Amino acid sequence: MEKVKENPDIIVAPGYGFSRIFDDVYFQPHDPVAESSFVFLRHNFLPQRMAICPHFVVGELGFGSGLNALITVDLWLRVAPAGSTLMYFAVEKYPLTLSQLIVMGQPWKALFPEAYNMLISPHYENACSRAAKVPLRDNKTLIFQIFTEDAAQALTHWPAKADAWFLDGFAPAKNPEMWHPSVLSRIGDNTLLGGTFATFTAASGVRQGLRDAGFHVFRTKGYGPKKHMSWGYRFSNPGKF
Ligand SMILES: C[S@@+](CC[C@H](N)C(=O)[O-])C[C@H]1O[C@@H](n2cnc3c(N)ncnc32)[C@H](O)[C@@H]1O
């Protein structure tokens, strides 16, 4: 396994992360847990869906600090039926080291101890090079992998169509490549019919790209003072029927 190297352009502190590469924060410093839960869990309807689906696949663009993974695994541990499997596949072009994750995740350790011990651990380093399979209580299994490459590349060999996507790749104005129509089209290809996405952005180009990728797209009120965010579900794959 090739060890992740620390990138000097990524600044970390407890509950905080900033990328000099993109001139953007990893998440809003004010209550990121509430904001990420609102955008990604609630608008993918995960509490309801995970409670009845024994096999669930999540895809994420931009693993970053692992906060979204933490809140997802925490929810799944609480609500999914015994014997369930969660597959969590993420892409991350600039992976953080485990030490950086430990610094950033300091405030979350006490909030989600079980998920934290599982993710912010050597499993993270393993998951950066191959699928990590983690057996858990109640006969549950987490399968977890992070593709440490460009999203456009990773999506050409994505391992499983997702039930739900977290599109979390910095602001489109600061990172247009992550939101390129070709990337969004591959998100459509890698989503089950009826599968959903949620994202903090409501940029019109992103919403159009997702419509072209076969999603019904909804713009809705964003978290707190944020005006808008978007979510949607896949109903077709244009050009493939
Ligand atoms: C807003 S942060 C993600 C925050 C993360 N979801 C979390 O829970 O901490 C965006 C992430 O996307 C990654 N990223 C940006 N462009 C990328 C690309 N083209 N391919 C893959 N990852 C990319 C960045 O390195 C960064 O970690």
Helix or strand or coil: residue 137?
helix
Residue 57 lies in a domain: yes
Q: Are 132 and 145 in contact (CB under 8 A)?
A: yes
Residue 2 lies in a domain: no
> Total structural domains in the chain?
1
Give yes or no for residue 12 having a pLDDT over 70: yes
Neighbouring CB atoms inside 10 A of 92's CB total 21
H or E element at residue 132:
strand 132-135
The domain of 128 spans 10-234
Q: What is the pLDDT of residue 5?
A: 83
Give yes or no for residue 2 having a pLDDT over 70: no
Q: What is the pLDDT of residue 39?
A: 98
Mean pLDDT across 124-128: 96
Residue 1 lies in a domain: no
Is the distance from the beta carbon of residue 91 to the nearest atom of ligand 1 less than 6 Å? yes
C-alpha of residue 180 to centroid of ligand 1, in Å: 14
- Supply the CATH number for residue 52's domain: 3.40.50.150
Percent of the chain's residues with pLDDT above 90: 93
Q: Phi-psi bin for 176: left (phi > 0), alpha (psi -120 to 50), beta?
A: alpha
Q: What is the pLDDT of residue 241?
A: 39
Is the distance from the beta carbon of residue 214 to the nearest atom of ligand 1 less than 6 Å? no
Q: What is the pLDDT of residue 240?
A: 47
DSSP state of 7: P
Mean of per-residue pLDDT scores for the chain? 95
Q: Is pTM, for the whole model, over 0.85?
A: yes
Is the distance from the beta carbon of residue 92 to the nearest atom of ligand 1 less than 6 Å? yes
Angle, alpha carbons 85-68-82 (nearest 5°): 25
Residue 100 lies in a domain: yes
Q: What is the pLDDT of residue 4?
A: 78
Is the distance from the beta carbon of residue 64 to the nearest atom of ligand 1 less than 6 Å? yes
| Amino acid making up residue 155 | L
Give yes or no for residue 1 having a pLDDT over 80: no
Q: Among 92, 102, 167, 183, say which to mutate for ligand 1: greatest number of ligand atoms within 8 Å of CB.
A: 92
Atom of ligand 1 lying closest to residue 17 CA? 9
Residue 5 lies in a domain: no
Q: In this predicted model, what pLDDT tens digit does every residue of 72-116 receive, in sequence order?
A: 999 999 999 999 999 999 999 999 999 999 999 999 999 999 999
Is the distance from the beta carbon of residue 168 to the nearest atom of ligand 1 less than 6 Å? yes
Is the distance from the beta carbon of residue 172 to the nearest atom of ligand 1 less than 6 Å? no
Residue 3 lies in a domain: no
Atom of ligand 1 lying closest to residue 178 CA? 19
Give yes or no for residue 14 having a pLDDT over 70: yes
Is the distance from the beta carbon of residue 169 to the nearest atom of ligand 1 less than 6 Å? yes
Residue 241 lies in a domain: no
Residue 139 lies in a domain: yes
pLDDT tier for residue 238 given thresholds of 50, 70 and 90: low
Strand order in the sheet with 215-221: 132-135, 141-147, 85-91, 55-61, 162-167, 191-199, 228-234, 215-221
Q: What is the pLDDT of residue 97?
A: 96
Q: What is the pLDDT of residue 222?
A: 96
